[in-house]
Amino acid sequence: MEYKINSTPEATEILLSGRMTFSDHEKFRNVIATFDGQKGHQMVFDLSGLDFVDSSGLGMLIIARDIAQKKSLTFCLRGARDDVQRVMKVAKFNKMFTIID
């Protein structure tokens, strides 16, 4: 997995790409470390560059959401496609996440 972070005063956009799997815990830790901002600041995960995500990857997204909630940041996902979209559907992610597309 690769990631890129773009920050503006209103929102932080995190672009993930490649394969997001159990071997990316360490990298994801760095991503989570950037979670910060005023109340209501938006954390946007752009998944359009992701080719593959496994259950650990899904778990990490849930963790990210929960951490954002604790810090009173809003959290949303966007851009999932193909296999990634399919797995998210199997995991019923639409019920747990704000998905904007």
> Which residues of this chain interact with other proteins, rule CB under 8 A?
19, 21-23, 25-26, 29, 32-33, 35, 52, 54-56, 58-60, 62-63, 66-67, 70, 83, 86-87, 90-92, 95-96
Give 57 or 79: the residue with its C-beta nearer to other proteins.
57
Give 10 or 83: the residue with its C-beta nearer to other proteins.
83
**Burial level of 35, CB count in 10 A (0-12/13-18/19+)?**
middle
CB of 67 to other proteins, least distance (A): 6
CB of 53 to other proteins, least distance (A): 9
- DSSP for 14-61? EEEEEEE-GGGHHHHHHHHHT---STT-EEEEEEEEEEEE-HHHHHHH
CB of 52 to other proteins, least distance (A): 8
Q: Is there a contact between 20 and 54 (Cβ–Cβ < 8 Å)?
A: yes
CB of 65 to other proteins, least distance (A): 8
Query: How far apart (Å, rounded) are the C-alpha atoms in residues 8 and 19?
Result: 26
